[in-house]
Amino acid sequence: MKVIPASVPEVRIVEPDLFGDNRGFLMEIYQEERYRGAGLGAPVVQVNHSHSIRGTLRGLHYQLRRPQGKLIQVVRGTIFDVAVDIRRGSPTFGLWTGVELSEENRRQLFIPGDFAHGFCVLSDRADVIYGCTELYDPQDEGGILWSDAGLRIHWPLADPIISPKDGRLPCLSEIPLERLPLYEAKS
């Protein structure tokens, strides 16, 4: 597999090895030893499947006490996937990176647990599979408004379909610092 740093350094784009012939292909989606050796977080403990229609935007979400690192892959369709550094004290605080993931490019995106995550659907339908490094806890969830002008995310949709809950999320600047993860410099 090939691991490529994204514009925000801790986020990684993964190009898994693909073994194909005239019958189709086989691709290793996750192998703990190999992924951990590449610096891609703790073992996956939960796997989710998200199915969405064109124009859907989900996010930006995060978990505070039990942060979920995520390994995201699209198995049908195309999405624009976004990670935002929300670690207070981080040199890249408030910066975002966006990557197009599709069934054609078969890329994965690894997002560390202390980042906010969201995506929008660019194809008619999209099926997104993502492994998480922690179990989901609804009492621990936080979020940031997808259209936060301070973040200046260049979403490729003008008028996305969002949930009422996501439409009520605060801007990053409105979130008390104690409700954001703390940056821990790696030595």
The residue type at 148: D
Whether 83 is covered by a domain: the verdict is yes
Q: Which domain holds residue 31?
A: 2-175
Residues 145/170/138/70 CA torsion (nearest 10 deg): 40
Whether 182 is covered by a domain: the verdict is no
The pLDDT, as a whole number, for residue 19 is 92
Q: How many residues does the chain have?
A: 187
Where is average pLDDT lowest: 21-25, 84-88, 126-130, 159-163? 21-25
Q: Say how many C-beta atoms besides its own lie within 10 A of residue 1's C-beta.
A: 15
Whichever domain contains 146, its CATH number is 2.60.120.10
Nearest in space to 74 (alpha carbons), one of 49, 103, 97: 103
- Residue 41's pLDDT band, with cuts at 50, 70 and 90, is confident
Whether 142 is covered by a domain: the verdict is yes
Which listed residue (130, 136, 154, 183) is catalytic? 130
Whether 134 is covered by a domain: the verdict is yes
Instruction: Respond yes or no: is residue 130 known to be catalytic.
Output: yes
Instruction: Respond yes or no: is residue 154 known to be catalytic.
Output: no
Whether 184 is covered by a domain: the verdict is no
Whether 187 is covered by a domain: the verdict is no
Share of the chain above pLDDT 70, in %: 99
Whether 183 is covered by a domain: the verdict is no
Task: Give me the mean pLDDT over the 85-102 stretch.
Answer: 97
The pLDDT, as a whole number, for residue 165 is 96
Which listed residue (35, 61, 62, 117) is catalytic? 61
What is the per-residue pLDDT across 55-90, written as a single tens digit (0 to 9) for each? 999 999 999 999 999 999 999 999 999 999 999 999
Q: How far apart are alpha carbons 106 and 26 in whole angstroms?
A: 11
Out of 3-7, 39-43, 97-101, give the one with best mean pLDDT: 97-101
Nearest in space to 83 (alpha carbons), one of 153, 178, 15: 153
Structure tokens that stand for 137 in this block:
């806890």
How many structural domains comprise the chain?
1
